[in-house]
Amino acid sequence: MRHQVRKVVFPVAGLGTRFLPATKSIPKEILTLVDRPLIQYAIDEARAAGIEQFIFVTSRGKSSLEDYFDDAPHLAAELASGGKTDLLEILEATYMKSGSLAYVRQNRALGLGHAVWCARHLIGSEPFAVLLPDDVIAAEKPCLRQMVEAYGDVGGNMLAMMEVAPERTSSYGVLDVAAEPKRLRPVRGMVEKPPAGEAPSNMAIIGRYILTPSVLEAIGRAAPGSGGEIQLTDAIASEIGRRPVNGFAFEGRRFDCGSKAGFVQATIAFALQRPDLREAVLEIIAETAATRRA
Ligand code: UTP
């Protein structure tokens, strides 16, 4: 019998250096797109996929991220007594069930693979999802939900993938998959940040995974890979030939909120989706563009 995917790991222990100086005191995942922190988008996507247990791999300086999920009874009482029911609803939508969140520490930033491995005792011996909150995906059906449904048919390991321009492949983990118009494609190999011209395809790994617990054992055995970090991709690659490893071409639009330009792009796109902001933001964009030309 195939296990249900009940657990998700959010590796949020990175240094977030591309957002300095903000990340000197604010975790990257607390930065907001319009009015919701990145971590709220991540949690909502995981909940929509049927996930019940949420594991955060954190590090020094991330306490505001842990506090974010506490209930806020004083604020709630204030909003209720002022009749601000719409704001109260927004607040209560962030509440999580008692005991559904767990935090584990990564003592040193030794890479994504190492961060996931730090959660091994909380994951145990069942399949689990990994979701990187700085990859935000806008989709009619949330990306992880699409993957959990596809996982029900094939099991094994699954990585979200997306076509990128050939000159961009050296910034990603890249999958060796056939160039065919199928959502689910068997992975023959994968390489982390291949040098220009050496990528096996244009299909880049995006921050959503469903993994078997044997990947954790492989990470435990792994030597540091590209960039001296313990890479998740190397451990998943060692599963090829043993268990299914599939790339999943999700439906939706991905924003790279780990980069400044991607973050600004996502901010504009999400603001334009909001009926209360759309007109005002369109006006601001038109005005700003006109000023630039003048
Ligand atoms: P990134 O490569 O984006 O690194 O990590 P970063 O530290 O977040 O940001 P920059 O590059 O310094 O600006 C991808 C994901 O892996 C997590 C990060 O928190 C992010 O969610 N990560 C990375 C860890 O949890 N631990 C690590 O040692 C490295």
Instruction: Tell whether pTM > 0.85.
Output: yes
- Number of domains making up the chain: 2
Q: Which atom of ligand 1 is nearest to the CA of 109?
A: 28
User: Is the domain of 155 the same as that of 268?
Assistant: no
Q: Cα-Cα-Cα-Cα dihedral of 166, 171, 173, 179, to 10°?
A: -10
Percentage above 90 pLDDT, the chain: 85
- Cβ of 188 less than 6 Å from ligand 1: no
CA of 134 to the centre of ligand 1 (A): 9
- Cβ of 205 less than 6 Å from ligand 1: no
- Cβ of 15 less than 6 Å from ligand 1: yes
User: Is the domain of 253 the same as that of 267?
Assistant: no
Residue 292 is part of which domain span?
260-294
Classify residue 282: in a domain, yes or no.
Answer: yes
Entry field: residues in the chain = 294
What's the average model confidence in pLDDT over 128-146? 98
User: Is the domain of 180 the same as that of 53?
Assistant: yes
Least confident stretch, 112-116, 168-172, 221-225, 267-271: 221-225
User: Is the domain of 17 the same as that of 141?
Assistant: yes
Classify residue 1: in a domain, yes or no.
Answer: no
User: Is the domain of 34 the same as that of 92?
Assistant: yes
Contacts of 127 (CB under 8 A, 6+ apart): 3, 5, 151, 155, 210, 211, 212, 213
pLDDT band with cut points at 50, 70 and 90 for residue 255: very high
- Residue 90 is part of a domain; what is its CATH number? 3.90.550.10
CB-based burial, 118-136: b 16+ in 10 Å, e otherwise: bbbebbeeebbbbbbbbbb
User: Is the domain of 294 the same as that of 198?
Assistant: no
User: Is the domain of 290 the same as that of 211?
Assistant: no
pLDDT at 130 over 70: yes
Classify residue 109: in a domain, yes or no.
Answer: yes
